[in-house]
């Protein structure tokens, strides 16, 4: 649905309409030059053939070193695998771990692809409610209530898309210990680990509960931290048997990640923190601006996000009103009307399991955000 909204907005732009898009989930910063240079160098040196399905050994070793030095997770490089983005990593591991009819717990609101991946694997996605009043935090109590004897796994995404929530270490540790007790597999999606604000910090659940190692994987990638969404490089680390099976699955599906992209990712891992720090500072400035604008518009509200670059905005107080004679009964109606009459593209919350909200991305310029919120304010005030 995210890409559908983006495509519709692009089509309207092609017709000359001045649409501002707040729907895309990718940083608006350019890929760092050393990363580009590494890819160009690889191409010039003839690194354009297939690699091993799971990635070149040098990149896998570098990822293992990163996991140890930054996350406190110790893996041999043979327990690390490279894929075509973190999305494929998630698809691979869900397909490998989940059997027909098994349940997978997914904190809700959720990233829209996760339940679909579970269904494609023959599993049953089970939303775990994360209370808005508690900042959309995932709690061990909620996980315990959602667990059944059919539960096979849980997918944890912190910092979170779409809420921007950063899960508490105490709760994560309790969830990890519960997972060990119930033999529940843990899939930790940490793609937004470096995009974090307001004094919060990211800690991997696997670092908090080392005993999880044999029943968990960590998924990450290069798209968000180094603004490399189009390069398609993600990685997964976990038990050797699970990684080996993921490797075999990938070898029959897509084979290896593009070779120049792998060398680019290798270069990204040695870049200093200046790029990410600059990007984070700008994202934080935009985050604060967006929250100020949301609070100033009657009928809108939002929980302060502390990670990623999204805000989930609550709009159910506006349901029942009309835009140009069209009654708004849910988030899809709201976003369609906002795009068609307000010329702002955003994603309806129903895609994330919460029809009371819509999601914006502040991965765009302050000027674009200002124009978008002016239009959103005008649109909301025009509702009859």
For residues 221 and 278, membership in a common domain is answered with: no
Query: Where does a domain end: 268, 293, 323?
Result: 268
| Residue 299 located in a structural domain | yes
Same domain, 208 and 343: no
At 10 the pLDDT is: 85
Q: Report the domain count for the chain.
A: 2
Q: Is residue 38 part of a domain?
A: no
Does 33 fall in a domain? no
Are 253 and 105 in the same domain?
yes
Contact 343, 1 (CB under 8 A): no
CATH code for position 362: 3.90.1150.10
DSSP 364: S
Phi, psi angle pair for 83, to nearest 5°: -135, 180
Residue 151: inside a domain: yes
At residue 1, the pLDDT reads 62
| pLDDT for the residue numbered 6 | 73
Answer yes or no: do 213 and 282 share one domain.
no
Q: pTM for this one?
A: 0.96
For residue 307, the enclosing domain spans 2-25+274-379
Residue 142 domain flag? yes
pLDDT one digit per residue (tens) for the chain, 384 residues: 666 777 888 899 899 999 999 998 899 999 999 999 999 999 999 999 999 999 999 999 999 999 999 999 999 999 999 999 999 999 999 999 999 999 999 999 999 999 999 999 999 999 999 999 999 999 999 999 999 999 999 999 999 999 999 999 999 999 999 999 999 999 999 999 999 999 899 999 999 999 999 999 999 999 999 999 999 999 999 999 999 999 999 999 999 999 999 999 999 999 988 999 999 999 999 999 999 999 999 999 999 999 999 999 999 999 999 998 889 999 999 999 999 999 999 999 999 999 999 999 999 999 999 999 999 999 999 998
Same domain, 127 and 165: yes
In-domain check, residue 190: yes
């Amino acid at each position: 649905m995210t890409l559908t909204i983006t495509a519709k907005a692009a089509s309207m732009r092609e017709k000359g309409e001045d649409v501002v898009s707040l729907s895309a989930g990718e940083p608006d910063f350019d890929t760092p030059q050393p990363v580009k240079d590494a890819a160009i160098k690889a191409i010039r040196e003839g690194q354009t053939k297939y690699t091993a399905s799971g990635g070149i050994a040098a990149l896998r070793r570098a990822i293992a070193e990163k996991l140890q030095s930054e996350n406190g997770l110790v893996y041999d490089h043979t327990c690390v695998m490279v894929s075509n983005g973190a999305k494929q990593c998630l698809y691979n591991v869900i397909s490998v771990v989940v059997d027909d009819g098994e349940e997978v717990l997914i904190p809700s609101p959720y990233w829209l692809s996760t339940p679909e991946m579970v269904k494609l694997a023959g599993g049953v996605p089970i939303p775990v409610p994360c209370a808005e009043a508690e900042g959309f935090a995932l709690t061990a109590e909620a996980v315990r209530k959602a667990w059944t004897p059919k539960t096979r796994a849980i997918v944890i995404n912190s910092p979170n898309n779409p809420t921007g929530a950063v899960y508490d270490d105490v709760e994560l540790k309790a969830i990890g210990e519960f997972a060990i007790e119930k033999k529940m597999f843990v899939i930790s999606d940490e793609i937004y680990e470096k995009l974090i604000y307001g004094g919060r910090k990211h800690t991997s659940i696997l670092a908090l509960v080392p005993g999880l190692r044999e029943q968990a994987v960590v998924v990450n990638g290069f798209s968000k931290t180094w603004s490399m969404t189009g390069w398609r490089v993600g990685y997964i680390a976990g038990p050797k048997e699970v990684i080996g099976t993921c490797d075999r699955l990938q070898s029959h599906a897509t084979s290896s990640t593009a070779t120049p992209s792998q060398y680019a990712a290798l270069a990204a891992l040695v870049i200093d923190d200046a790029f990410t720090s600059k990007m984070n500072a700008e994202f934080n400035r935009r985050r604060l601006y967006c929250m100020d604008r949301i609070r100033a518009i009657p009928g809108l509200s939002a929980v302060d996000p502390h990670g990623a670059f999204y805000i989930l905005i609550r709009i159910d107080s506006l349901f029942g009103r009309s835009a140009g004679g069209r009654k708004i009964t849910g988030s899809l109606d709201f976003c369609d009307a906002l795009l068609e009459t307000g010329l702002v593209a955003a994603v309806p919350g129903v895609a994330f399991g919460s029809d009371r909200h819509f999601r914006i991305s502040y991965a765009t310029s302050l000027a674009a955000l200002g124009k978008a919120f002016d239009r959103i304010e005008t649109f909301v005030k025009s509702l009859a």
